[in-house]
């Protein structure tokens, strides 16, 4: 069997570990042949390939990013996109695809599967917002990066007696903000799942200063004030209809400075959260996902996504993983709120 592999959407640590696991087991255990499609769905759309064998995946386990490249290409927004993909797969002699990606990449995989393309999905996103799986790889690494940044910011904030607002990624789901904020001892955590009251945040900040400690506020990029809207970098939409977010941290810092009379600064972690080597957890999870994915392909169990359920890696229908986003439940946020203002 000749199998295509692609990685789409935002990059994250662990992508290369999945590719490595798929190829190594596919070649050594099953005798399959592989071809890498470059730059997400742009690869099969335009016939962009690169060799993918044992030699190509040696040494890539600890590397961040993806050796195949990525993009946010949506073939369903391109004229004859689906027909071009099917034609290129046939021309390349590809019998099946392993698609590694998040909501958008696997959403395309779901539609293509319904149209007869043999696809198995692997869930990837630092946001941890894909349904059907307890965790996605990339999330643990992003949280640890954000936590380390918060740890460092505590000392500089206290030295200068200022508020530091840390803006992390999270368009519709605040998993990174919640976990990094809890692990880093933040005084306030603001998520997209619940609008926040700026006056209340200012009260928490003031209480922190009263005990002679400087406050750390962690805010997800998609968080919104009461009766407000998400702060946008610009109004442009990508091929999946997403706006580019950015600026909530700066807006909030200005508000807090005005309301508390204390200096406030913003740190936007941005793509730092995506970069660098994956944690041990993400390396292991990525490898297990890759092994399960190639097993599914070998068995002809297409239209499935691999997923973590408890400690087991299982297969679920692709539609279960992409039907709706997994957001932070209100009770999980309320668990964290007990620390605010203390």
Q: Which residue has the tokens 């499935």?
A: 304
Q: In degrees rounded to 5, what are phi and psi of residue 102?
A: -105, -150
Q: What are phi and psi of 237, to 5 degrees?
A: -105, 145
> Which of 20-29, 126-135, 323-332 has the weakest average pLDDT?
323-332
- CA torsion sign for 36, 40, 42, 44 is positive
Q: What angle do CA 209, 269, 132 make, to 5 degrees?
A: 105
> What is the pLDDT averaged over residues 44-60?
96
Is residue 285 within 8 A of residue 14, CB to CB? The reply is yes
- Rounded to an integer, the average pLDDT of 232-242 is 57
pLDDT of residue 333: 77
Residue 152 annotated in ligand binding: no
Q: Is 228 annotated as a binding residue?
A: no
- State what percent of residues in the chain have pLDDT above 90: 83
CA angle in degrees (0–180, nearest 5) for 321-326-328: 165
Inform me whether the pLDDT recorded for 12 exceeds 60: yes
Question: What pLDDT is attached to residue 323?
Answer: 82
What digits encode the pLDDT tens for the residues 131-186? 999 999 999 999 999 999 999 999 998 888 899 999 999 989 999 999 999 999 99
Residue partners of 93: CB distance under 8 A and separation at least 6: 2
Q: Which residues pair with 225 in a beta bridge?
A: 196
Return the pLDDT at 284: 98
Distance CA 226, CA 269 (A): 24
Mean pLDDT for all residues in the chain: 92
pLDDT at residue 122, as a whole number: 98
- Which residues pair with residue 220 across a beta bridge? 168
User: Cβ–Cβ contacts within 10 Å for residue 141, how many?
Assistant: 25
pLDDT band at 264 (very low <50, low <70, confident <90, very high): very high
Name the strand (E) or helix (H) holding 320.
Answer: helix 318-322
3-class SS of residue 342: coil
272 appears as a binding residue in the annotation: yes
Write down the pLDDT at residue 46: 95
Q: How many residues does the chain have?
A: 342
Token pair listed for 226: 């009461």
Q: Using one digit for the tens of pLDDT, what is the confidence trace for 284-335?
A: 999 999 999 999 999 999 999 999 999 999 999 999 998 889 999 988 878 7
> Which residue has better confidence, 241 or 45?
45
- 127 in active site: yes
Distance of CA 8 to the CA centre of its chain: 11
User: Do the annotations mark residue 250 as ligand-binding?
Assistant: no
Q: Is the pLDDT of residue 121 over 60?
A: yes
Query: Tokens standing for 92?
Result: 């390349």
E strand or H helix that includes residue 168: strand 163-168
Residue 254's CB is within 10 A of a number of other CB atoms, namely 13
Which pLDDT band holds residue 229 (cuts at 50, 70, 90)?
Answer: low
pLDDT band of 213, cuts 50, 70, 90 = confident
Find the range with the poorest average confidence among 14-23, 30-39, 228-237.
228-237
**Residue 181 three-state SS:** helix
Residue 340 confidence (pLDDT): 74
What's residue 238's pLDDT? Answer: 57
Measured CA to CA, the distance from residue 279 to residue 137 in angstroms comes to 10
> At residue 6, what are phi and psi to the nearest 5 degrees?
-140, 155
Q: Is 148 annotated as a binding residue?
A: no
Q: Which two tokens stand for residue 276?
A: 């660098």
**Quick check: helix, strand or coil at residue 91?**
helix
Annotated ligand binding at 11? The verdict is: no
Main-chain phi, psi angles of 287, to 5 degrees: -65, -45
List the Cα angle 144/173/330 in 5-degree steps.
Answer: 105
Q: Does the annotation list 287 as a binding residue?
A: no
Asked if 216 contacts 232 with a C-beta cutoff of 8 angstroms, the reply is no
Beta-strand relationship, 304-309 and 119-123: parallel
Query: Which secondary structure element, helix H or strand E, spans residue 103, and what is its range?
Result: helix 103-114
Q: What is the mean pLDDT of residues 35-57?
A: 96
What six digits make up the tokens of 172? Answer: 């519709």
- The whole-model pTM stands at 0.92
- Helices and strands, number each (H, E), in the chain: 12, 13
Q: Which of 39, 104, 127, 295 is catalytic?
A: 127
Ordered domains of the chain (ranges, CATH): 2-138+278-323 (3.40.50.450), 140-275 (3.40.50.460)
Query: What pLDDT is stored for residue 243 in this prediction?
Result: 60
What distance in Å separates the CA atoms of residue 123 and residue 146, rounded to the nearest whole number?
Answer: 21
């Amino acid at each position: 069997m000749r199998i295509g592999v692609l990685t789409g959407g935002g990059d994250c640590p662990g992508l290369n570990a999945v590719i490595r696991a798929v190829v190594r087991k596919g070649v050594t255990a099953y005798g399959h042949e592989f071809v890498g499609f470059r730059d997400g769905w742009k690869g099969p759309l335009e016939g962009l390939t690169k060799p993918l064998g044992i030699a190509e995946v040696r040494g890539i386990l600890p590397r961040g990013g993806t050796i195949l490249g990525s993009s946010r290409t949506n073939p369903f927004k391109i004229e004859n996109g689906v027909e071009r993909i099917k034609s290129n797969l046939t021309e390349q002699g590809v019998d099946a695809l392993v698609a590694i990606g998040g909501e958008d990449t696997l959403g395309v995989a779901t539609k293509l599967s319904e149209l007869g393309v043999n696809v198995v999905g692997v869930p990837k996103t630092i946001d941890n917002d894909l349904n059907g799986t307890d965790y996605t790889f990339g999330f643990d690494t992003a949280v640890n990066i954000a936590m380390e940044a918060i740890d460092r910011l505590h000392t500089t904030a206290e030295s200068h007696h200022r508020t530091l607002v840390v803006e992390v990624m999270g368009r519709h789901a605040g998993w990174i903000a919640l976990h990094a904020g809890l692990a880093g001892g933040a005084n306030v955590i603001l998520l997209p799942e619940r609008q926040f009251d700026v006056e209340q945040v200012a009260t928490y900040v003031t209480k922190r200063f009263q005990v002679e400690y400087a406050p750390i506020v962690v805010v997800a990029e998609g968080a919104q004030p009461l009766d407000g809207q998400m702060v946008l970098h610009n109004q442009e939409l990508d091929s999946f209809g997403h706006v580019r977010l950015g600026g909530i941290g700066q807006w909030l810092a200005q508000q807090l400075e005005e309301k508390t009379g204390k200096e406030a600064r913003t740190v936007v972690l941005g793509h730092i959260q995506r970069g660098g080597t994956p944690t041990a957890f993400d390396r292991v999870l990525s490898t297990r996902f890759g092994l399960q994915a190639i097993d599914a392909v070998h068995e002809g169990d297409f239209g499935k996504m691999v997923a973590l359920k408890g400690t087991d890696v299982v297969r679920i229908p692709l539609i279960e993983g992409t039907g709706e986003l997994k957001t932070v439940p209100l009770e999980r946020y309320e668990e964290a709120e007990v620390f605010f203002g203390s």
